[in-house]
């Protein structure tokens, strides 16, 4: 009898504990949900280097189609109070690859897998993407080649190839996505082509960030010089005035953020140049060009690449008011951002087009209307194979 009473007493205690936990849980979830829906949303995650999802009021259509439920789930994940801090703490504490060195017999000439398609390359701290082949992106490649051949007919066209890390298989030491050969074998008409000279992992480490998929200041400047030589303007190449390095807070690149490798960061270096004054327009609005104060207080997870070189945008126009010079159009990705101003300083007007951010774009009319003399296709691997560079940002375009 005593045992039964004792057991019942213990069960009652557990029930009370469960009730208290449930009430606290509902208060937290309810309060967090209320704040997610009604407070001013946060727009950017410096931890993850992306725009955060925000809550959108439902209507009959979004509720029936299920898009409201998906939006609510995404908004709760991104906007829930302290969600970013929780991600930072859990990623930092439980990401064991950040803590322990990998034995050489395991990593030498092999990938150390970190998160989905991100890995470390061959016992180095170089974060890279896993390799892709042309065949895996053939439909998008064919789509792009069609209007590149139009470019060749419409203006004096130049292609500068920038191989991303997924263009290589660093385990086998081979190029799996040979953009240079692909263009040479498929482009028609008259054109010019050059490539950033990257043949192996050692070359790649020289020109690209360790924690980001973009090229570093050495790669950017080498690309600028190569492009100027392609244009026949090697005598006009601008010299570096200064090199500035930011050590604190350090640079957490897109790769370290994507793979949640918050122990992996690096210094961020950039060059400065003497550039003549110019007018600068973003999507048709006259504004100031990107300005960066490296001495100002930064966020811990500040994405310096965007802060210094500017965000991606549909159309940017540089006007140096030099009518005796030619007009240039750059078919762009974020790789062009660091060198847009440099290249534009050698032309009258330069039109930077990132078609990912344009709902529609008639390139034939645009080239004609703006008296484009030269076209530069800044052919990073993603520009050649990515669906978002199909005309008008339409992922279903063929």
pLDDT at res. 396:
39
pLDDT of residue 397: 35
Q: What is the pLDDT of residue 302?
A: 75
- Tokens, residue 304: 């310096």
Residue 117: the pLDDT is 86
| CA contacts within 13 A on the Cβ side of 239 | 1
Using one digit for the tens of pLDDT, what is the confidence trace for 63-85?
A: 666 676 777 666 666 666 666 66
Contacts of 339 (CB under 8 A, 6+ apart): 220, 223, 224, 227
Does the pLDDT of residue 182 top 70, yes or no?
Answer: yes
Per-residue model confidence (pLDDT) at position 359: 86
Interatomic CA distance for residues 161 and 328, integer angstroms: 18
343 burial level (CB within 10 Å; 0-12, 13-18, 19+): buried
Closest by alpha carbon to 253, among 6, 12, 35, 46? 46
For residue 182, how many other CB atoms are within 10 A of its CB?
Answer: 18
Angle in degrees, CA 122, 200, 221, rounded to 5: 115
What are the E-state strand segments in 196-265?
242-251
Range in 62-76, 86-100, 131-145, 355-369 the model is least confident about: 86-100
Considering only 39-53, 172-186, 374-388, which range has the smallest mean pLDDT? 39-53
pLDDT confidence band for 288 (50 / 70 / 90)? confident
pTM of the model: 0.79
Query: What is the overall mean pLDDT for the chain?
Result: 84
Band of residue 32 on the pLDDT scale cut at 50, 70, 90: low
Q: Which of 370, 369, 379 is nearest to 350 (CA)?
A: 370
pLDDT average, residue stretch 52-63: 71
């Amino acid at each position: 009898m005593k045992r039964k009473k004792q057991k019942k007493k213990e069960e009652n205690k557990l029930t009370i504990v469960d009730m208290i936990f449930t009430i606290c849980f509902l208060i937290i979830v309810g309060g967090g949900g209320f704040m997610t829906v009604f407070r001013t949303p946060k727009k950017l995650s410096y931890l993850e280097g992306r725009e955060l999802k925000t809550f959108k009021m439902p209507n009959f259509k979004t509720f029936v189609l299920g898009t409201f439920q998906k939006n609510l789930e995404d908004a709760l994940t991104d906007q829930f109070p302290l969600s970013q801090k929780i991600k930072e703490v859990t990623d930092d504490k439980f990401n064991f690859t950040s803590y322990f060195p990998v034995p050489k017999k395991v990593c030498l000439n092999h990938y150390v897998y970190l998160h989905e398609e991100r890995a470390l390359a061959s016992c180095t701290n170089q974060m890279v993407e896993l390799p892709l082949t042309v065949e895996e992106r053939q439909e998008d490649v064919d789509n792009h080649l069609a209007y590149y051949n139009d470019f060749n007919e419409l203006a004096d066209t130049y292609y500068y190839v920038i191989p991303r890390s997924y263009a290589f298989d660093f385990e086998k030491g081979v190029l799996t996505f040979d953009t240079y050969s692909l263009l040479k074998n498929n482009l028609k008409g008259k054109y010019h082509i050059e490539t950033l000279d990257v043949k192996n992992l050692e070359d790649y480490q020289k020109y690209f960030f360790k924690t980001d998929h973009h090229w570093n200041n050495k790669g950017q400047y080498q690309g600028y010089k190569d492009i100027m030589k392609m244009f026949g303007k090697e005598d006009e190449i601008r010299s570096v005035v200064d090199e500035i390095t930011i050590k604190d807070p350090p640079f957490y690149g897109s790769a370290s953020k994507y793979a949640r490798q918050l122990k992996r960061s690096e210094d961020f270096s950039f060059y400065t140049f003497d550039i003549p004054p110019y007018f600068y327009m973003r999507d048709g609005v006259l504004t100031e060009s990107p300005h960066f104060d490296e001495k100002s207080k930064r966020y811990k997870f500040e994405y310096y690449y965007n802060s210094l070189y500017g965000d991606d945008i549909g159309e940017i126009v540089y006007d140096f008011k030099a009518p005796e010079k030619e007009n240039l159009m750059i078919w762009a990705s974020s790789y062009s951002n660091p060198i847009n101003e440099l290249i534009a300083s050698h032309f009258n007007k330069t039109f930077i087009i990132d078609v990912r951010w344009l709902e529609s774009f008639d390139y034939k009319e645009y080239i004609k209307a703006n008296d484009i003399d030269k076209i530069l296709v800044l052919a990073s691997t993603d520009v050649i194979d990515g669906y978002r560079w199909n005309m008008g940002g339409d992922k279903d375009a063929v």
